[in-house]
Structure 1
Amino acid sequence: MRQLGLAVLAGLLAVAFAHGEVAAQTSGAQSLNITPGARADGMGRAFVALPDDATANWWNPAALAWRS
């Protein structure tokens, strides 16, 4: 019974330490993953070639020269 308790404790500690390592590898700029518009997010963020939206400057700033 004691060996089973130690095995369960070792398993729980392994999971806890593994979770800490995964959490430590996240980027510090998570705010860059937030899309400014729902339309672009719904299209899978493939929004570079569509200049007819208010958030088009976010996706393709080079198209500012052709905006009217």
Structure 2
Amino acid sequence: MEKYANDLKKLGNNIRLHRERAGLSQEALGFKADLHRTYISQLELGQRNPSYTTLCKLANALNVSIYNLIGK
């Protein structure tokens, strides 16, 4: 997992950026995406590696494409 630590941090930063642009708290995003707030926090900190399904849930809740979440 260490090999991808920087990628996970970039993903987390992108999730946080889009969440803040949407004016959502971690709790509100979790509710919209059917994910727990602590899991959202762990994603934003680059501590978790989300599945494709989770990325779909987040992208839909944030009204962005998956590419916007994982893009550079």
Q: TM-score range by the shorter chain?
A: under 0.3
More helix, by proportion? 2
Q: Which has the larger radius of gyration?
A: 1
Task: Identify the structure with bigger relative contact order (alpha carbons < 8 Å, sequence gap 6+).
Answer: 2
- Please give the TM-score of this superposition, normalised by the length of structure 1: 0.26
- Please give the TM-score of this superposition, normalised by the length of structure 2: 0.25
